[in-house]
Amino acid sequence: MKSPLFTPENSAMLLVDHQEGTMGWVGSASLKEIKMNTIALARAADAVGMPLILTSSMEDQAQGPLFEELQLAVPDAYANRVLRGGVVDSMKDEGFAKAVADTERKNLIIAGITTDVCVVYPAITAVSEGYNVQVVVDGSGSPTQIADETALRRMESNGVTLTTTNQLIAELAQDWSSENGQKLMQVLFEEILSKQH
């Protein structure tokens, strides 16, 4: 099946469980880079008016709150975040599933912590429910490299498209000289390009 082009007009951004506690469990990639990419994704969605859904699980437990830089980058989305109980597959949480359905978008962009628990299941569930799904690999991470690779392979074999932050933002922009393209280029420069060596 040919994957559709994701645009700001037909897509929604879902950022799952980027919590202070869960972030500490990541060993498959640089935490600094994951944070940088996550903020870029959130700001990109916000800049072009795409639906942006943040969700967290059991904030009063070891998982903790969403990391502070994300809270500050998109305060409105943070204030409206979906607070979940212990349901692992966020697409099976009533509040989250309703928030996703209410966007009326069939293209979902997902990043989260951890890839092997909090991303793999909702991504596969969303595909099974008829959504087109792209998972942003460098906005996600797992405790180990093998855990991350296994989750990515499982998602890909179930129809999920894998992408990266820069690739996804370029897809949303399509034309850097357009109004949205200019906004996205600014986010890309401020959050990623200006911070690389």
The DSSP-derived string for 143-182 is SSHHHHHHHHHHHHHTTPEEE-HHHHHHHHHS-TTSHHHH
Pick the CATH number of 11-195 from 3.30.930.10, 3.40.50.850, 3.30.465.10, 1.10.3720.10: 3.40.50.850
What is the DSSP code string of 91-136? GGSHHHHHHHHHTT-SEEEEEEB-IIIIIHHHHHHHHHTT-EEEEE
For position 140, what pLDDT does the model report?
A: 98
Give pLDDT tens digits for 38-75.
999 999 999 999 999 999 999 889 899 999 999 999 99
List active site positions.
Answer: 118
For position 157, what pLDDT does the model report?
A: 98
Give pLDDT tens digits for 62-109.
899 999 999 999 999 999 999 999 899 999 999 999 999 999 999 999
pLDDT of 154 > 70? The answer is yes
pLDDT of 1 > 70? The answer is no
Q: What percent of the chain has pLDDT over 90?
A: 92
Total-model pTM: 0.96
- For all residues of the chain together, what is the average pLDDT? 95
pLDDT of 159 > 50? The answer is yes
For position 196, what pLDDT does the model report?
A: 72
